[in-house]
Amino acid sequence: MSAPTVRRRRLGAKLRALRGELTLDEVSEASNGLFVTSKLSRIETAKSAAKAKDVEALLDLYASLGREVSDELRSALVTLTKEGSQRGWWHSYRGVLSPVYADLISLESEAESISTWQVALIPGLLQTADYAREINRATAMSDAVEARVDALVEVRLARQAILTRESPVSLWAIIAEQALLSGSTTDGMMREQLGRLLSMGKRPNVNIQVLRSTAPLHVGQVGTFTMLGFGPHPDLDVVHTEALSSALYVEEREAVNAHRDAWQRLTSAALSVEASAKLITQIRNAL
């Protein structure tokens, strides 16, 4: 992709934070010419992909200048750099996926935790094939997207492997009750989908809460979002938001923190995990 990826922007932002009040010229001088000003600028602004050896050297330099560079931070940033140059399974679908969607899949594969709030849909990581196919067709806004439905379903199901791999991602999903009540043109589709929620909710790395339609007005009514967490460094976390014909990432720390606060409110407003499972079972049994 020619445009800077989320991964490169996250790396650049963290390196910029470590530079602090130092100017690019001062860092270049301190590196004895190893890093010219233009190179540092391109890395920080995500205009160029960084090499792992350059990130290592830059972290060594910042540590020598008194910056706090823990082993955990070093490992996280070097891993971020190395994985940025790797080609994941989703690259074979590059003719199908938008750059933003490809970024999301890449970030999901690296995240330690995913927290998602969905108003009208079952989260993609928990969808069955039939549900994914029907929702893709229902939301297709062009013939081109309609023609790619089967491939998009394959991608959606492949994404779900992060929940069952050896070191699985921790998924916490809050789903509005209305998403569980959607109709379908496919017999048994919603019954199967709700069964999928119940079975996945039994996994130790998956929590599912339902927010009742009768709940008081709440912050989640502003829109859906997904937070991707990367372990002990919350300043590397990002938020993904999606609309009918667009999607974007929220990366600024204050904005990410605002979504984190909103998430806490939603978890408090929703039914408990146990009560949610009972409600999903009741709705499924009524189908």
Euclidean distance between CA atoms 27 and 30, whole angstroms: 5
Q: 225: Cβ–Cβ under 8 A, 6 or more apart, which residues?
A: 116, 117, 239, 240, 241, 250, 259, 262
- Written in H, E and C, the secondary structure of 60-77 is HHHHHCCCCCCHHHHHHH
For residue 89, give the amino acid letter. Answer: W
Q: Which residues of 83-96 are buried (b: 16+ CB within 10 A; e: fewer)?
A: ebeeeeebeebeeb
Phi, psi at 244, each rounded to 5°: -60, -45
Three-state DSSP state, 193: helix
Euclidean distance between CA atoms 215 and 228, whole angstroms: 26
Euclidean distance between CA atoms 43 and 59, whole angstroms: 13
The two structure tokens encoding residue 189: 């589709």
pLDDT at position 1 = 34
pLDDT at position 138 = 86
The two structure tokens encoding residue 102: 């490809």
Phi, psi at 130, each rounded to 5°: -65, -40
| Predicted TM-score (pTM) of this structure | 0.81
In DSSP terms, which residues pair with 209 in a beta bridge? Answer: 174
Q: What is the pLDDT along the chain (287 residues), one digit of tens a residue?
A: 334 577 787 788 889 989 999 999 999 999 988 889 999 998 888 878 888 899 999 999 999 999 989 888 898 888 878 765 556 788 888 888 888 888 889 889 888 999 999 999 999 999 999 999 999 888 876 666 667 899 999 999 999 999 999 999 999 999 999 999 988 777 899 999 999 999 999 999 999 999 999 999 999 999 999 999 988 778 788 999 988 777 888 888 899 999 999 999 999 999 999 999 999 999 999 99
The two structure tokens encoding residue 103: 């970024």
Q: Which residues of 3-33 are buried (b: 16+ CB within 10 A; e: fewer)?
A: ebbbbbbbbbbbbeebbeeeebeebbeebee
Using left for φ > 0, alpha for ψ between -120 and 50, and beta otherwise, residue 33 falls in: left
H or E stretch including 241?
strand 238-242
Q: 51: Cβ–Cβ under 8 A, 6 or more apart, which residues?
A: 81
Phi, psi at 111, each rounded to 5°: -65, 150
Domains of the chain: 6-84 (1.10.260), 92-285 (3.30.870)
For residue 253, give the amino acid letter. Answer: R
The two structure tokens encoding residue 141: 């806004």
In DSSP terms, which residues pair with 247 in a beta bridge? Answer: 242
CB hemisphere CA count around 201 (13 angstroms): 23
Euclidean distance between CA atoms 114 and 159, whole angstroms: 13
Phi, psi at 206, each rounded to 5°: -125, 125
Euclidean distance between CA atoms 223 and 225, whole angstroms: 7
